[in-house]
C-alpha cells in the first residue's frame, strides 16, 4: 500500500515577536527583536537580565476561565497555538471523529513554572503544604493532554521531551502516523515557558549573551532564553484537497540522529548525518534545497559545528543557499523552537521571503554561510530544510516543499 502524502494546512504561534501567524510573520521578516528585560522573576543575582518573554498574552482568550488555573503557562501557550492552528486550517473539529485527531507536543521542561512553585513549597515548608491542584501539572506529559482535554480530542496523545529538537520530532512522528493512515489530522508542535530552571541552567553553562543573540557573528556571545509555542495542523493531501484547504507546504520527510558524543557540545558528524538522511528520506538532492532554517543558537560551538556540517553536506553550493537563524529575534524557545522554525519554513515557501539573521555585525571565517544578514530577502523557496540540534545530541531535520499538484518531487 502506498503511503499518503502529508501537508501543512494550519499554523498557530505564540512568540515574543507576536501572537498569531500574521503578527509573527510581519515582525519576523521585519527583523524585529523580541528580547527585553526579564519580568517573570528577579534577576538581580544573575549576571544577565534579558530574554525572549512573551508579552500581552491573555490565556482567557483561548481557555475557559474555570480551567485557566489548572494549566501552567507552557500549556496555556500550547492550547492557544493549537486553537489558532485549527482556526487557520478551516477544520470544524466538532463535525469530525475526535478519535482521529491526534496531538503531539514537544517540550524541554513542560510547565516548568508550576514545577518550580511546587518544589519551592515542598522544600521551604512541607509536602503537606503543596497545593493538590499542582500535582497533576507536574509530569512532563501534561502539555499534550492539556491540549487534548481543552479541545476535546481523543486521538493519539504524545509528549516528546527531546528539548530543542522536540518540535521537529513531533512533526516527524505526526508525518508517520498520517502517512500510514493511522489518523486523519494531527496537531504537531512544541511549547515551553520562560523559567528559572532554564534561565539558571544556561547561565550556569555560560551560554547566555548579555544583550543580544548574534548567530554566526564572529563576536557572538551566546543564546538568549525564550518562551513560546508553535502548533501546525497536518493532514493527508487527499483530505486537504477534498475540503479545498489552503496548503502551506508538503512535508516530504525527516530524519533523526544522535551524536552519542557529548551532553551539551554538538558533533559535526551528527549534524551531517541528520541532514543527509532527511534529504534521502525525502528523495531530494542537495542542489534542490532553497533555504535552510538553521538551529543557530548564537553559541560559539553550535554555530561553528552547524556551519561546518552544511559546508560538508552541500559542498561547493553551500554559500548559495540562504541559511538564517530566527533565534536571533525570538531567543531560544526550547521545545517550541523547531516547531516555530518549521512555520517560518512554511511561510517562506508560501510568500517567497526568507527571514533574516539579525544582529549580524562581523563576519566569521568559520561561519562563512549565507546567513541572510539583518534584512529579509525575496527568494523563491520550493524546498526548505529545518534543522534542530538538542542537548544529548538529539538532532532532527524536517524537509518541506512547495505543494505542486502535478508531482510530489518537482
- Residue 162: CB atoms within 10 A of its CB come to 25
What residues does 332 pair with on adjacent strands? Answer: 225
In residues, how long is the chain?
410
* DSSP category for residue 131: -
CA dihedral sign of residues 18, 21, 27, 31: positive
**Spatial separation of the C-alpha atoms in residues 96 and 202, rounded to whole Å:** 43
CB 333 within 8 A of CB 14: no
CB 171 within 8 A of CB 282: no
Q: Which residues are catalytic?
A: 164, 295, 332
**Of the candidates 294, 300, 252, 299, which has an alpha carbon nearest to the alpha carbon of residue 277?**
252
**Measured CA distances, 95 to 99, 100, 283, 310 (Å):** 12, 12, 36, 45
| SS3 labels along 186-212 | EEEEEEECCCHHHHHHHHHCCCECCCC
Amino acid at each position: 500500500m502506498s503511503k499518503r502524502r502529508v501537508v501543512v494546512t494550519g499554523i498557530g504561534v505564540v512568540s515574543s515577536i507576536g501572537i498569531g501567524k500574521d503578527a509573527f510573520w510581519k515582525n519576523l521578516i521585519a527583523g524585529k527583536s523580541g528580547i527585553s528585560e526579564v519580568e517573570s522573576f528577579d534577576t538581580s543575582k544573575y549576571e544577565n537580565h534579558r530574554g525572549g518573554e512573551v508579552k500581552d498574552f491573555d490565556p482567557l482568550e483561548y481557555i475557559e476561565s474555570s480551567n485557566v488555573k489548572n494549566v501552567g503557562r507552557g500549556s496555556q501557550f500550547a492550547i492557544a497555538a493549537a486553537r489558532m492552528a485549527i482556526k487557520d486550517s478551516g477544520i470544524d473539529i466538532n463535525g469530525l471523529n475526535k478519535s482521529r485527531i491526534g496531538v503531539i507536543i514537544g517540550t524541554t521542561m513542560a510547565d516548568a513554572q508550576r514545577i518550580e512553585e511546587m518544589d519551592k513549597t515542598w522544600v521551604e515548608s512541607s509536602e503537606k503544604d503543596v497545593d493538590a491542584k499542582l500535582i497533576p501539572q507536574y509530569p512532563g506529559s501534561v502539555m499534550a493532554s492539556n491540549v487534548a482535554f481543552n479541545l476535546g480530542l481523543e486521538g493519539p496523545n504524545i509528549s516528546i521531551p527531546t528539548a530543542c529538537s522536540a518540535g521537529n520530532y513531533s512533526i516527524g512522528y505526526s508525518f508517520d502516523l498520517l502517512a500510514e493512515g493511522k489518523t486523519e489530522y494531527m496537531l504537531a508542535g512544541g511549547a515551553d515557558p520562560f523559567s528559572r530552571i532554564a534561565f539558571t541552567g544556561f547561565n550556569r553553562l555560560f551560554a547566555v549573551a548579555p544583550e543580544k543573540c548574534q548567530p554566526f557573528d564572529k563576536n557572538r556571545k551566546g543564546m538568549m532564553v525564550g518562551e513560546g509555542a508553535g502548533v501546525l495542523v497536518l493532514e493527508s493531501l487527499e483530505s486537504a484537497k477534498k475540503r479545498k484547504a489552503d496548503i502551506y507546504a508538503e512535508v516530504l520527510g525527516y530524519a533523526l540522529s544522535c551524536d552519542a558524543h557529548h551532553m551539551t557540545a554538538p558533533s559535526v558528524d551528527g549534524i551531517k548525518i541528520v541532514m543527509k538522511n532527511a534529504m534521502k528520506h525525502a528523495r531530494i538532492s542537495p542542489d534542490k534545497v532553497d533555504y535552510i532554517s538553521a538551529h543557530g543558537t548564537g553559541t560559539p560551538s553550535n554555530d561553528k559545528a552547524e556551519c561546518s556540517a552544511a559546508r560538508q553536506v552541500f559542498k561547493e553550493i553551500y554559500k548559495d543557499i540562504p541559511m538564517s537563524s530566527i533565534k536571533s529575534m525570538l531567543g531560544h524557545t526550547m521545545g517550541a523552537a523547531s516547531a516555530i522554525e518549521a512555520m517560518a519554513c512554511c511561510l517562506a515557501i508560501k510568500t517567497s521571503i526568507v527571514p533574516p539573521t539579525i544582529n549580524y555585525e562581523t563576519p566569521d571565517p568559520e561561519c562563512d554561510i549565507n546567513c541572510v544578514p539583518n534584512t529579509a530577502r525575496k527568494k523563491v523557496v520550493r524546498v526548505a530544510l529545518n534543522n534542530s540540534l538538542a542537548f544529548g545530541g538529539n538532532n532532527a531535520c524536517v524537509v518541506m516543499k512547495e505543494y505542486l499538484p502535478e508531482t510530489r518531487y518537482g
